């Protein structure tokens, strides 16, 4: 059984506000029809050029962002990324991130 299953996941940014010159904001298709299966215990590297959708994909997998279309199953259960309370609980109990930039305040310490 796969731990993570993505099927036909799409994410589009922009197109909402109007611009003075063009009358429309261009849409950026960050993800188009992404399919991904990750088995429990499997190690996966997400690689690609700048702007290819790596961060968008990880934000969806980590319930930090919602997809526009498609399905996301975690351990066989559909995710409910459109429900903020569900997404917060999912992040707290099931997902962890090790980020490249910790965004810590340099002159403060924690003990």
CA distance 87 to 62: 9
**Which residue segment(s) compose the domain that 46 sits in?**
2-94
2 exposure class (CB count in 10 Å sphere: 0-12, 13-18, 19+): middle
- Say which range, 13-17, 30-34, 90-94, 96-100, has the weakest mean pLDDT: 13-17
Band of the pLDDT at 79, cuts 50, 70, 90?
very high
Mean pLDDT of 71-90: 96
pLDDT at residue 100 greater than cutoff 80: no
**pLDDT at residue 14, rounded to an integer:** 86
CATH code, domain with 6: 3.40.50.300
105 lies in some domain? no
pLDDT at residue 22 greater than cutoff 70: no
Domain count, the chain: 1
The pTM (predicted TM-score) of the whole model is: 0.80
């Amino acid at each position: 059984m796969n731990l993570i299953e993505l099927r036909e996941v799409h994410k589009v940014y922009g197109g909402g506000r109007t611009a003075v010159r063009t009358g429309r904001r261009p849409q950026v298709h960050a993800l188009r029809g992404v399919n991904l299966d990750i088995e429990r215990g499997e190690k996966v590297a997400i690689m690609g050029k700048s702007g290819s959708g790596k961060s968008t994909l990880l934000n969806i997998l980590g319930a930090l962002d919602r997809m526009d279309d498609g399905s996301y199953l975690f351990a066989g259960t559909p995710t409910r990324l459109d429900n903020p309370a569900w997404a917060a609980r999912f992040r707290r109990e099931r997902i962890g991130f090790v980020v490249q930039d910790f965004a810590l305040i340099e002159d403060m310490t924690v003990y």
